[in-house]
Amino acid sequence: MTDLPTPSTARPAPGQLTMTAPRRGKPPRHLADLDLAGRVEWAKELGLPGFRAKQLSTHYFAHHTDDPEQMTDLPKAARDELAAAMLPRLLAPVRTITADRGATLKSVWRLHDGALVESVLMRYPRRATICISSQAGCGMNCPFCATGQEGLTRNMSTAEIVDQVVAANRLLAEAGDLPLGDEAGAALGAEADDEGESLPSSSGRRVTNVVFMGMGEALANYKAAIGAIRRMVDPSPEGLGMSARGITMSSVGLVTGIDRLTEEGIPVTLALSLHAPDDELRDELVPINTRFKVDEAIDAAHRYYQRTGRRVSIEYALIRDINDQAWRADLLGKKLTARGKGWVHVNPIPLNPTPGSKWTASRRGVEQQFVERLRAHGIPTTVRDTRGSDIDGACGQLAAATA
């Protein structure tokens, strides 16, 4: 599998959206693609007793292993066959790059068809967060994002999405103690603590927080992304047994997807990648704005808050002399407070560099003024931690070094 060529996609024209993923060969069917009842039925179709599916679920979701040699409760003669049938290898490691004294690890994975995706594991004093990919590439084509500039190769399957989390749990268990990084800014995954209720500590041995902020627009791969969330929150060993509050779904403002997520009844945190409060600029920075305008995206986010009670995070990449003007901070503040108070938190993000980009991060003084103007409107505002930027593992950088 690792010898397959890397598939290439033509770079999209400026502003071009790709809403339908190219059709490619489906990934192997995997236990994590199905709920427990579906796994039991599949096992029976394979001529196996249904309880074998439950045993395999325990190994994968509770022990985070797909190694037949560790499955000592299965018949020795059948272990390899069982694992090959229901736990096929989905992610082949290409390389892992570390930063922050080992507290940040970016993993590059090759999928069954040669497509490359990346995930980033970050250890903080009170959590372990993984930033996962939901698509190989991205069809949203934001011009300041390395992933968007590469175009969309294909959607990932539910199991391919989940397997990134399981691989991270395996890595945490095997790596032992790693130096824990400082939380100088708003850490990825910190959205879960917005309500003042801390999630259980991972003790550095398992993932506590998952953010859909890697490659792809997860809501454009809706069925697989929701399936992955359900596998994460299903109780162990049916799933990973995670808290839904520890999962953050990021979107550039796909309003139809946000509304569908609102109806799911899963209290994940929604993060809206806004990046501009006015339609004229956002049409350029976030091409989906040509279909769903700023106010429509904010309204959808507010509906999500009203239905779930989960405070929404607004992501705002600060780009020097482009979107960092004080009047834009005021406009954003007015638009958010017009819909009420206490429903939203803003995370300004210093723009992370990508190869060939004409844009760069805002000056520190300008960044601070932007934050202060938002806070003057009564909006909680915290600058996002840029963990992993030196290994192209920060927001907007994934695929910069591997495409």
Question: Do 81 and 108 reside in the same domain of the chain?
Answer: no
Number of domains into which the chain is organized: 2
Q: Let me know if residue 13 belongs to a domain.
A: no
At 20-50, the pLDDT tens digits run: 998 888 999 999 999 999 999 999 999 999 9
3-state secondary structure of 273: strand
Q: Is residue 131 part of an annotated ligand binding site? A: no
Q: Is 196 among the domain residues?
A: no
Looking up residue 51, the CATH number of its domain turns out to be 1.10.150.530
152 found inside a domain: yes
- The two tokens of residue 392 are 């192209």
Same domain, 80 and 100: no
Rounded (10°) CA dihedral 130, 136, 142, 143: 110
Q: Report pTM.
A: 0.91
The DSSP H or E segment spanning 121 is strand 116-124
Alpha-helix residue ranges (DSSP H) falling in 151-292? 158-175, 222-233, 255-264, 279-285
pLDDT-above-70 percentage for the chain: 86
Does some domain include residue 161?
A: yes
Task: Answer yes or no: do 327 and 358 share one domain.
Answer: yes
Cis amide linkage into residue 353, ω under 30° from 0: no
Nearest residue to 39 (alpha-carbon basis) of 57, 63, 60: 57
Does 138 carry a binding-site annotation? yes
Residue 396 domain-assigned (yes or no): no
Q: Residue 179 has what pLDDT?
A: 54
8 A C-beta contact, residue 213 and residue 250:
yes
Could you tell me if 180 and 228 lie in one domain?
Answer: yes
Note whether 46 and 108 are same-domain residues: no
Residues forming a β-bridge with 110: 92, 116
- Side-chain half-sphere exposure of 333, counting CA atoms within 13 A: 18
Torsion sign, CA atoms 230, 68, 63, 106: negative
Tokens of 50: 């249904």
Would the annotation count 243 as a binding residue?
Answer: no
Report percent pLDDT > 90 for the chain. 74
Q: Give the residue, 19 or 239, on which the prediction is more confident.
A: 239
pLDDT in tens, 318-365: 999 999 999 999 999 999 999 999 999 999 999 987 777 788 999 999
- CA-CA distance, 125 to 355, in Å (whole number)? 32
Cβ–Cβ under 8 Å, residues 119 and 172: no
Catalytically active residues are 118, 395
User: From CA 164, how far away is CA 263, in angstroms rounded?
Assistant: 26
CA distance 264 to 247: 14
Confidence of residue 192 (pLDDT cuts 50, 70, 90): low
Q: Which of 246, 243, 230, 232 is nearest to 60 (CA)?
A: 232
Q: Which residue type sits at 25? A: G
| Claim to verify: residue 329 and residue 207 sit in the same structural domain | yes
pLDDT of residue 43: 95
As a whole number of angstroms, the distance between CA 140 and CA 220 comes to 9
Angle at 343 between CA 340 and CA 344, to 5 degrees: 110
The Cα–Cα gap between 286 and 143 comes to: 8
Confidence of residue 146 (pLDDT cuts 50, 70, 90): confident
What integer pLDDT is reported at residue 396 of this predicted model? 47
H or E stretch including 82?
Answer: helix 79-86
Q: 243 and 373 share a domain? A: yes
Q: Domain holding 235: CATH number?
A: 3.20.20.70
* Residues 307-335: b if buried by 16+ CB within 10 A, e if exposed: ebebbbbbbbbbbeebbbbeebbbbbbeb
| pLDDT higher at 4 or 313 | 313
pLDDT tens, residue by residue, 151-177: 999 999 999 999 999 999 999 998 766
Write the CA distances from 271 to 94, 212, 247, 327, integer angstroms. 30, 9, 10, 23
Same domain, 161 and 81: no
SS3 at position 347:
strand
240 and 262, same structural domain?
Answer: yes
Q: Find the mean pLDDT for residues 376-385.
A: 94
Q: Is 396 annotated as a binding residue?
A: no
Q: Is-contact 397 403, C-beta < 8 A?
A: no
| Length in residues, the chain | 403
Structural domain range at position 377: 92-189+201-391
All residues at 6 or more sequence positions from 322 whose CB lies less than 8 Å from its CB, including other chains: 281, 285, 359
Q: Could you tell me the CA-to-CA distances from 325 to 365, 371, 372 in Å, in that order?
A: 11, 11, 12
- Spatial separation of the C-alpha atoms in residues 139 and 153, rounded to whole Å: 9
Q: Can you give the pLDDT at residue 346?
A: 98
DSSP string over 166-204: HHHHHHHHHH---PPPP--SB-TTGGGGTTS-PPPP-TT
Q: What is the strand order of the sheet 116-124 is part of?
A: 92-99, 104-110, 116-124, 127-131, 209-212, 247-251, 269-273, 312-318, 344-350
For residue 72, give Cα distances in angstroms to 46, 49, 84, 197.
21, 17, 16, 39
In the numeric block, which tokens belong to residue 314?
Answer: 């607004």
Give pLDDT, residue 125: 81
